[in-house]
Structure 1
């Protein structure tokens, strides 16, 4: 197997048409969540886009591969749904970053992975998806006709390109916003410490951290490492990915960025759209940085259409979660949506270890 040790080890930056189109493969999972989060919380979109742009370029150059850079979806979903405040969201992100950095540096991610069962991870994903559905319905009620039009547009686009449905809705919303407010003058985001609000460490923040780490270990580290091996015959260790995620989160969050991770979904999206090298990251990073200059147009984005965007995101996340049909996954998801995602995660984790102790976990795994 070829080991990608960084820029220079192989010709890892190309700028072919496939790299340009491949850049969009990551944005279809990033932009819908980022725009919605910044519209509904004090998060600053210019600062968020700058952070994503910088780290897209950093990891593209570092690995010479189309490495994905995504928001931590569990935490973002909880903040969008109002289950945690923005201050709790920031605190949870910083705490997750510290844990990932330490686990990656210590080479401990493989051991952490074995502690968390797949049904528990899927249950957390389902809980976040259900919370997002509730929020999407609330936003859509502001203008049901526009929300319905958005749903119909998403359905039509899904027939041709399923992954692009949310991106199409964003494009439609931007067009409407430009029609209302015009194109704003380019402005640079101001350098500030915690521009959206200071961290607030609470039990809700701790629960959000636990829920996020459950998803991060499985999807952002283990699954991404395996996908690099499958698609590129490249060895990108899970502990390296954990260290990356901890580093970029701790560097970006204090300056207004979001808790960020890698992800198998973004990597698969880039590959499906034609990306084969880190050139796609450089292209996408440049687009994010350019978008950060004209974020004023997002202020006029119609919230009802944002509800439709959020519905598509919830559907995508929920579909992955429901692929695991175990009763434990469903129980964790429903309990998390109705009560507290962090507590549901802890309860699910205890239940999963009880199944392992009773030698029932293998039959439970075969059931899905």
Structure 2
């Protein structure tokens, strides 16, 4: 049975089995990073999950779409490998949030989108798909028997027409394994405090991380996600609006223990691949994140078999790659898509975005 209400965006918010499975399709792009972040920094995982939960709900209601809310991967990655401390991560997130809010309000992202060209943005989508696929391999090799079992479950359920339900089954099996290892969690309410894991610190490393992240965010989380909203949901969502909402998210969440967050084409593709069609998926996932924050999230997530998430990431990556190539109908555009994807995989998405934009401009001068 599905229930629906009307959102501020005048779209139905449905609460059905498809919205549940779709919501979980986004979580597979988020949870591996959060587990690694919790294991390597002083971050409070419970506070981080509350931040994700709140803003999943906020933007689901606001947009009426299953818009993704993901960690800013460049900054989170730098924190995981020790290049940024938590204090520097918080500072970089606040700086990035301020810039995104400003450029979104000034309409600068939309102007950039009109100059860059669609093949470049398709290439960014393809780059993210390749990065997700690489992450899937990394997660899967940590426990090949577990990954193989998850792959068999997904394949069998997909063959009989239940691909969307496969995410529930696979994550359910992983949850049982986690509880068996860590034990039944004890509920605990996260402390309400300002910067509970430490105050922000603006350093050279924080500034460098901010610049690297903004290149990825503008290309993938703003412009590519805006394009994907039209591809998958036939909705016109401007890149400037997405930039503004990402800025609001960072500036509001980080002081209360959250981490830098953005919208992303990978999470949006994940939700679509597993059945989400409305903002109801965000509401359901938001409630799930908050619930997880209340039940000793660190212990449960640390025990969760990450190889299972790797299997589901493969499905997300394939959906995003399909969306990236579907409208490409000429060789020159295909070359740009492939080139941007390769640079994004081998270097980073921000550099790929700039290289692709230059290549597109040069091609336009020759036309």
TM over 0.5: yes
Deviations 1:145-194 (A, max 9, x none): xx333443454355456999999886555434422432122110001222
Number of aligned residue pairs: 339
Q: Which residue of 1 aligns with 2:41?
A: 41
**Alignment root-mean-square deviation, CA:** 4.1
Q: Which runs of 5+ in 1 are unaligned?
A: 1-5, 141-146, 364-368
**What is the alpha-carbon distance in structure 1 between the residues aligned to residue 171 and residue 187 of structure 2?**
20
Aligned to 2:152: 156
User: Is the CA contact 2:269–2:316 (under 8 Å) kept in the aligned structure 1?
Assistant: no
Distance 2:232 2:136 in 1: 33
Say if 1:72 and 1:212, in contact at 8 Å, map to a contact too.
yes
The one-character-per-residue Cα deviations of 1:35-55 (angstroms, maximum 9, x if unpaired) are 232233222111111111111
Normalised by the length of structure 1, the TM-score is: 0.73
- Alpha-carbon distance in 1 for matches of 2:79, 2:202: 14
| Equivalence for 1:82 | 82
Look up the match of 2:228. Answer: 227
The range that moved more, 154-163 or 27-36, is 154-163
Alpha-carbon distance in structure 2 between the residues aligned to 1:290 and 1:98: 29
Partner of 1:97: 97
CA distance in 2, matches of 1:296, 1:268: 26
User: Aligned residue for 2:285?
Assistant: 284
Deviation of 1:282 after TM superposition, in Å, equals: 1.5
Residues 133 and 313, structure 2, Cα contact 8 Å, conserved in 1: no
Cα 1:30–1:296 shift into 2, 3 Å: closer
SS at match of 1:14: strand
> CA contact under 8 A between 1:37 and 1:43: conserved in structure 2?
yes
Q: Structure 2: any 5+ residue segments left out of the alignment?
A: 1-5, 326-336
Assess, with a 3 A threshold, how the Cα gap between structure 1 residues 362 and 53 changes in structure 2: closer, same or farther: farther
Structure 1 residue 256, shift from structure 2 partner: 1.0
Report the Cα distance in structure 1 between the residues aligned to 2:171 and 2:365, rounded to whole angstroms.
43
CA distance in 2, matches of 1:292, 1:156: 31
Counterpart-to-counterpart distance in 2, 1:85 and 1:110: 33
- Helix, strand or coil for the counterpart of 1:29? coil
Deviates more, 1:293-302 or 1:236-245: 293-302
1:19 aligns with: 19
